[in-house]
Amino acid sequence: MKSNAKHGRRRQTASDRMFQRAMIVLFALIFAGFGAGAYGLVSVQLVNGKEYAAKAEEGQLRDTELAAPRGAIYDSTYSPKKENVPFARSASAYKIYINPNALDKAINKAEILQALRNDLAPLLGISPEKIDRQASYTKYNYMALAGQIDNDTMKKVNAFRDRKLDIQLKTNDKDYAGGVKTLHSTYAYYVGVSPDIVRYYPMGSLAANVIGFTGADDIGRAGLELYYNKSLTGVPGRIVSAKNAADANLPVQFETQYNAKPGHSLVLTIDAAVQSTLERSLEQAKIDSKAKAAYGIVMDVKTGGILGMACVTSFDPGNYQHIADDNVRAQIEALPEGPERQKAYNQAMMAQWRNGTIELTYEPGSVFKCVTVSAGLEEHVVDLDTHYSCSGGIQVANRYIRCHKREGHGAQTLTQGLMNSCNPFMITIGQRLGVDKFYKYFEGFGFTESTGIDLPNEYFPKKGLNIHAQENMHIVELASCSFGQSFEASPVQILTAVSAIANGGKLMEPYVVAKELDENGRVIKETQPTVRRQVISEDTSQKVRSMMEQVVTGGTGKNGYVAGAHVAGKTGTSQKLSAGSGYVASFSCFAPADDPSVALLIAIDEPQGLINGGQIAAPPAAEIMENVLVHKNIEMRYTEKEQQELGGVAPDMTGKDADMADAALKKAEYRVRVIGGGGSVVHQIPEPGQSLTRGGLIILYTEGATAEETMQTVTVPKLTGLGIKQAAQIAADAGLNIKLTGNYESDALITYRQSVPAGDEARLGETITVHFVSNNGVTDRIA
Tell me the pairing of strands 697-702 and 410-413.
unpaired
Calculate helix-pair angle for 423-444, 369-378, nearest 10 degrees: 80
Q: What are phi and psi of 575, to 5 degrees?
A: -85, 150
Neighbours of 581 (CB within 10 A): 7
Instruction: Give 11-43 pLDDT, tens digit per residue.
Output: 444 445 544 554 444 444 444 444 444 444 444
Instruction: Give 198-233 pLDDT, tens digit per residue.
Output: 999 999 999 999 999 999 889 999 999 999 999 999
Distance CA 617, CA 573 (A): 10
* Span 684-697, average pLDDT: 88
Distance CA 275, CA 600 (A): 12
Distance CA 705, CA 697 (A): 18
Contacts of 214 (CB under 8 A, 6+ apart): 70, 199, 220, 221, 225
Q: What are phi and psi of 662, to 5 degrees?
A: -60, -45
Neighbours of 10 (CB within 10 A): 9
Is the pTM higher than 0.75? yes
Instruction: Give 42-51 pLDDT, tens digit per residue.
Output: 444 444 555 5
Residue 16 to residues 8, 19, 172, 635, 678, Cα–Cα distance (Å) = 17, 5, 19, 81, 99
The residue with greater pLDDT, 640 or 760, is 760
Start-to-end Cα distance in the chain: 108
* Span 372-395, average pLDDT: 97
pLDDT of residue 694: 74
Distance CA 96, CA 559 (A): 58
Handedness of CA 49, 51, 53, 59 (dihedral sign): negative
Distance CA 257, CA 236 (A): 11
pLDDT of residue 145: 95
The residue with greater pLDDT, 629 or 28, is 629
* Span 287-315, average pLDDT: 95
Q: CA 434, 446, 460 angle in degrees (round to 5)?
A: 115
* Span 567-586, average pLDDT: 86
In the sheet with 61-66, reading across from the earlier edge strand, the strands are: 61-66, 237-242, 255-258
Distance CA 125, CA 604 (A): 40
Q: 225 and 154 in contact (C-beta within 8 Å)? A: no
Percent of the chain with pLDDT over 70: 89
464 confidence band (pLDDT: 50, 70, 90): confident
If DSSP codes are grouped into helix, strand and coil, which group holds residue 204?
coil
Q: Among 225-239, 387-401, 592-606, 690-704, whose mean pLDDT is lowest?
A: 690-704
Distance CA 480, CA 161 (A): 72
Q: Which residues pair with 40 in a beta bridge?
A: none
Tell me: pLDDT of 417 over 90.
Answer: yes
Distance CA 213, CA 225 (A): 6
pLDDT of residue 690: 87
pLDDT of residue 44: 44
* Span 569-585, average pLDDT: 84
Q: 108 and 302 in contact (C-beta within 8 Å)? A: no
pLDDT of residue 649: 85
Which three-class secondary structure string do you get for 680-741? Answer: EEEEEECCCCCEECCCCEEEEEECCCCHHHHCCEEECCCCCCCCHHHHHHHHHHCCCEEEEE
Instruction: Give 692-705 pLDDT, tens digit per residue.
Output: 887 889 999 999 99
* Span 352-381, average pLDDT: 97
* 592 prior amide bond cis, ω within 30: yes
780 confidence band (pLDDT: 50, 70, 90): confident
* Span 300-318, average pLDDT: 95
Tell me: pLDDT of 117 over 60.
Answer: yes
Tell me: pLDDT of 253 over 60.
Answer: no
* 686 prior amide bond cis, ω within 30: yes
Distance CA 565, CA 632 (A): 12
CA 282 to chain centre: 13
Handedness of CA 82, 86, 89, 91 (dihedral sign): positive
Residue 435 to residues 152, 373, 431, 533, Cα–Cα distance (Å) = 67, 15, 8, 21
401 confidence band (pLDDT: 50, 70, 90): very high
Tell which residue, 570, 590, 536, 555, has the closest CA to residue 377. Answer: 536
Q: 673 and 686 in contact (C-beta within 8 Å)? A: no
Distance CA 587, CA 282 (A): 13
Residue 24 to residues 30, 41, 667, Cα–Cα distance (Å) = 10, 19, 97
CA 680 to chain centre: 50
Instruction: Give 742-763 pLDDT, tens digit per residue.
Output: 887 776 789 988 999 999 999 9
CA 484 to chain centre: 28
pLDDT of residue 38: 42
Residue 714 to residues 82, 695, 701, 733, 762, Cα–Cα distance (Å) = 40, 19, 16, 11, 6
Q: Which residues pair with 411 in a beta bridge?
A: 389
Q: What are phi and psi of 178, to 5 degrees?
A: 70, 10
Tell me: pLDDT of 73 over 80.
Answer: yes
Long-range pairs of 518-522 with CB within 8 A, sequence gap ≥ 24: 518/264, 519/261, 519/262, 519/264, 521/80, 521/265
Distance CA 678, CA 179 (A): 100
If DSSP codes are grouped into helix, strand and coil, which group holds residue 401?
strand
> Which value, in Å, is the radius of gyration of the alpha carbons in the chain?
35
Instruction: Give 496-534 pLDDT, tens digit per residue.
Output: 999 999 999 999 999 999 999 999 999 999 999 999 999
Distance CA 375, CA 540 (A): 9
Residue 16, amino acid:
D
Q: 586 and 565 in contact (C-beta within 8 Å)? A: no
CA dihedral 308, 571, 772, 635 (to 10 degrees): 50
How many Cα atoms within 13 Å fall on the side-chain side of residue 725? 1
If DSSP codes are grouped into helix, strand and coil, which group holds residue 97?
strand
Distance CA 587, CA 572 (A): 6
Distance CA 163, CA 176 (A): 25
If DSSP codes are grouped into helix, strand and coil, which group holds residue 618?
helix
Contacts of 54 (CB under 8 A, 6+ apart): none
741 confidence band (pLDDT: 50, 70, 90): confident
Handedness of CA 311, 313, 318, 320 (dihedral sign): negative
pLDDT of residue 14: 44
Residue 154, amino acid:
M
If DSSP codes are grouped into helix, strand and coil, which group holds residue 202?
coil
Distance CA 509, CA 446 (A): 10
* Span 72-78, average pLDDT: 97
Distance CA 225, CA 318 (A): 12
3-state helix, strand, coil in the chain (%, to 5): 35, 25, 40
**How high is the mean pLDDT of the chain?**
89
Handedness of CA 631, 637, 640, 641 (dihedral sign): negative
Distance CA 75, CA 265 (A): 11
Helices (H), 569-690: 613-616, 618-631, 640-646, 658-667
Distance CA 281, CA 621 (A): 8
* CA diameter of the chain: 126
